[in-house]
Chains A and B, each alone.
Chain A
Amino acid sequence: MSVIYILLAVSIIVAIVFFAVFVFAVKSGQYDDSYTPSVRMLFEDELVKAKKEK
């Protein structure tokens, strides 16, 4: 049954990894502007189209 120690350790490490990712995301400013990226991701294709027309 002492496998539970390993399981607990693994699950808590996973949780801490997710927490660290969250902190990193906040720090890098991901939560500062929640609107612009949603528009920006739609742009790439149109620029290519404009070039083809030429």
Chain B
Amino acid sequence: MDTNTCYHCGDDCGKSPISYQKKYFCCNGCKTVFEIFNENDLTCYYDLQNAPGAIPKEVEGKYDFFSQENIVEKLTEFRSDTIEIATLYIPHIHCSSCIWILENLNKLNPSITDSQVNFGKKTVRVTYKNEETDLKSVVLLLSTIGYEPYISLDDFSTKKNHINRSLIYKLGVAGFGFGNIMFLSFPEYFEVNEFWLEQYKHLFRWLMFALSLPVVFYSSQDYFISAYKGLKSKLLNIDVPIALGISVLFIRSTVDIALDLGSGFFDSLAGLVFFLLVGKFFQQKTYDFLSFERDYKSYFPIAITKIKNGEETSVQVYDIEKGDRLLIRNEELIPVDGILINGRAKIDYSFVSGESQPVTKHSGDKLFAGGKQTSGVIEIEALKSVEQSYLTQLWSNDVFNKNKEESFKNITNSISKHFTIVILSIAFIATVFWLFYDATKAMNVFTAVLIIACPCAIALSAPFTFGNLLRIFGNLKFYIKNASVIEQLAQIDTIIFDKTGTITSNKSSTAEYEGELLSDSETSILKSSLRGSNHPLSRTLYDILKANDIVSLDTFEEHVGKGIEAKYKSKELKIGSAQFVGNTNTDTILNTTVHISSNNTYKGKFIFYNSYREGVSKLFNQLKKQFDLAILSGDNEGERENLKKLLPSKTKLIFNQKPEDKLEYIKYHQSEGAKVLMIGDGLNDAGALAQSDVGIVISEDVNVFSPACDAILDASKFKNLYNYIKASKSAISIIKWSFLLSFFYNVIGLYFAVTGQLAPVIAAILMPLSSISIVVFTTIATNLLGRRLK
């Protein structure tokens, strides 16, 4: 047993771990959770996985909104007089221990009759007796054991969206038809002229016809719909020749068996539809636990405390009106623009801007929606309603309603235009030839060309290549929304980065000391006093400074919003803002600084710099050869010099950009023909991410919320970005090669078709063969590509 890591959460216990039952814990919270599990015989939790837990957070008062009927109504999916069922999203679900403990909730609260985890979606579906308990106590129970559910405004506004399972049904129907038709068509392929076969073949044929009906009219309906839509907008997409092929196959086969001309191509027909749907299914890789469609609603709380005549009531966020007094507790998000009335406001705007350093505000200051209060309770007066707030207004921009996929012409469709024209020409020329040569065969040849040329293999190339690459990227922590994003990524020529939170790391920053050197005793006092302070800058500075003797200070006083005053023996140290320490030198430095004075003489200052992510410089140098690079930052120019040193000289650096400015910048470059990749992280990039051709969000923790985007990249893999873009480009060449391969099959098939020799058995061999070899080729090629990425 490791003594330095917490038995519950695995964090470093520091110097004074809490010991309980010979186990060590980093904090009381963790110990309490262990005690709860211990009392209820649930310590198995720790056997399944080492240190699986999370530190329970302070939730006092946070869930008061459950007293409101309409909110509970929205959050539960079923309510009767005796039981209620609610599905809660819990971001912490990550291992088998989590599943185990959450499915044994009834050991902790007997009123919970059933709880079922969906690991992929990170949700737990709880059924409980509402006479004995309520949703609030269930949520509080989950919070006390470290599994705090995430409840946001999104849960309130969207009704439970129905899971679309139609593709699975269609695939099932096609597979069912394909298998049975195969068996029924086999006897005739052996062409044994036995008596019984002659007698029963008509029955067999009509059975095949019957089985093909659901395949044609149900399973393949998407292709007909898409082809119709394509033709209506004068676009020859890949579904046009597919739909043509399916209908010709079906009509010709029906005519064949009706007039007793042959056995028809029902097996090829069902096989074709089945393979096409398998391709579609394969491409439909989704990351259930990620959402690419988030807007501000997933960030905002569902309810907030309102103060009216000195009484605190919980109100739904949409009901906030201008002039309402609101109470924002520690760690709560400000849902509307407002004015600070009283309290120490330290607002963390990292959701909005990616800036990690909280901003101090004084009463009378304006606060923007989206900020998170980080110290104590504040009171604000709402200036606007939720929909009219600055941040939420951004979502009324048209870009959020634009569907990127529709305006994009993918590689398969661009080739299908030529393909369709060529095939139709071949069909007509061959028919005309046979009309003069042997008119009885003309119709046969015409349909045969359309049947054999049905671009099954072409239609499968892209889904299997992209589908497989999507999985490979997923394993490498690059989560892509859908296959067409890979294609667009391959065409990018301009890359725009956000600065804060994207190329800089949220977790650490570096500081440099400027001024008179501090003596040893001064450094130890500095270190000791920083230790006692909770100000984020103090914490950062404390972590940066090397370990030193910690002394117990004689006096220690923290002046809110100003600094710290500490005394040890004869030395008095002041740490804080320039004004506080008495620095009269007013040179304007844009970076964050902490000043120090000893015995009222000014010593110097620590200047904080952003710390850039590992490999930023290397990545930019890799990218500069092929792409135009730019950095759009919402911050001031404080980091300009630093960035200039770090990045290749042709990188454009633009500062003081508002969210709309970023959006306009991208729009402007797109109008000049650039294909723009936007890489950002905060809500302030949301507009730019939506406007760009591909928007990638960098996330330290993919379970935490990220704005709407096309792809999410784990921050630790940021340095590999260039390789990912390169892999997308290689995927396009894989697809081109498999197009070549399928053309080869088409030429063979066309030979049989044009010469009038296409027997059903040839089609039955050629079509699955071409499809399967394409699948094998693309899968092997993308796996090789993936191996190079690792």
Instruction: Using CB atoms and an 8 Å cutoff, list the residues of chain A in contact with chain B.
Output: 1, 4, 8, 11-12, 15, 18-19, 22-23, 26-27, 29, 31-36, 39-40, 42-43, 46-47, 49-51, 54
Contacts and interface: CB of A to CB of B under 8 A. Distances in A.
Contacts of B203: 8
B670 to A, nearest CB: 38
Given A1-B199, A19-B176, A33-B118, A46 B48 contact: yes
Given A15-B176, A33-B118, A33-B120, A26 B168 contact: yes
Interface string B194-211: 001001100100010000
A34 B199 CA distance: 47
A33 B121 contact: yes
A50 B180 contact: no
Contacts of B43: 50
B289 to A, nearest CB: 11
Tell me the interface secondary structure of chain B in the complex.
helix
Given A39-B96, A40-B103, A46-B48, A31 B168 contact: yes
Contacts of A49: 44
Contacts of B96: 39, 42
Given A31-B165, A32-B163, A47 B44 contact: yes
A47 to B, nearest CB: 7
Interface of B: 41-44, 47-48, 96, 99-100, 103-104, 116-121, 163, 165, 168-169, 172-173, 176, 179-180, 183, 196, 199-200, 203, 207
Contacts of B183: 11
A46 B44 CA distance: 7
B100 A43 contact: yes
Contacts of B120: 33-36
B172 A23 contact: yes
B180 A12 contact: yes
A1 B196 contact: yes
Contacts of A47: 44, 104
Tell me the interface secondary structure of chain A in the complex.
helix
A47 B45 CA distance: 10
B41 A26 contact: no
A47 B203 CA distance: 58
Given A19-B176, A31-B168, A36 B118 contact: yes
A31 B103 CA distance: 20
Nearest to A15: B180
Contact of B41 (A8, A33, A54): A54
B99 A40 contact: yes
Nearest to B42: A50
B165 A26 contact: yes
Contacts of A42: 96
B200 A33 contact: no
A50 to B, nearest CB: 5
A5 to B, nearest CB: 8
Nearest to A19: B176
9 contacts: A1-B200, A4-B200, A8-B207, A36-B99, A36-B116, A39-B96, A39-B119, A50-B44, A51-B41
Contacts of A18: 176
A36 B200 CA distance: 49
Given A15-B179, A31-B168, A36-B119, 14 more contacts: A1-B199, A11-B183, A12-B207, A19-B173, A22-B176, A23-B169, A26-B165, A36-B120, A42-B96, A43-B100, A46-B47, A47-B44, A50-B43, A51-B41
A22 B121 CA distance: 23
A19 B172 contact: yes
A27 B168 CA distance: 10
Nearest to A51: B41
Contacts of A15: 176, 179-180
Nearest to A4: B200
In this complex, which of A34, A36, A49 has the most chain B Cβ atoms within 10 angstroms of its Cβ? Answer: A36
A33 B47 CA distance: 25
Contact of A50 (B41, B165, B196, B207): B41
Nearest to A43: B100
B52 to A, nearest CB: 13
A8 B598 CA distance: 98
Contacts of A12: 180, 207
B729 to A, nearest CB: 32
Contacts of B163: 29, 32
A22 B168 CA distance: 10
A49 B180 CA distance: 49
Nearest to B103: A40
A9 B99 CA distance: 46
Contacts of A22: 172, 176
A30 to B, nearest CB: 10
10 shortest interchain CB distances as A-B pairs: A36-B119, A33-B118, A50-B44, A35-B119, A19-B176, A39-B96, A46-B44, A22-B172, A26-B168, A50-B41
A16 B103 CA distance: 36
Nearest to B183: A11
Nearest to A36: B119
A40 B266 CA distance: 43
B169 A43 contact: no
A34 B168 CA distance: 14
Contacts of A29: 163
A48 B117 CA distance: 21
In this complex, which of A39, A47, A54 has the most chain B Cβ atoms within 10 angstroms of its Cβ? Answer: A39
Contacts of A26: 165, 168-169, 172
Contacts of B47: 46
Contacts of B99: 36, 39-40, 43
A10 to B, nearest CB: 13
Contacts of B104: 47
Given A4-B200, A15-B176, A33 B103 contact: no
Contact of A33 (B48, B119, B165, B168): B119
Contact of B118 (A1, A32, A51): A32
In this complex, which of A11, A27, A35 has the most chain B Cβ atoms within 10 angstroms of its Cβ? Answer: A35
Nearest to A1: B196
A47 B104 CA distance: 9
A14 to B, nearest CB: 10
A31 B48 CA distance: 26
B238 to A, nearest CB: 27
A51 B107 CA distance: 12
A31 B165 CA distance: 9
Contacts of A34: 120
Contacts of A31: 165, 168
A27 B180 CA distance: 23
A19 B100 CA distance: 34
B405 to A, nearest CB: 24
A4 B195 CA distance: 14
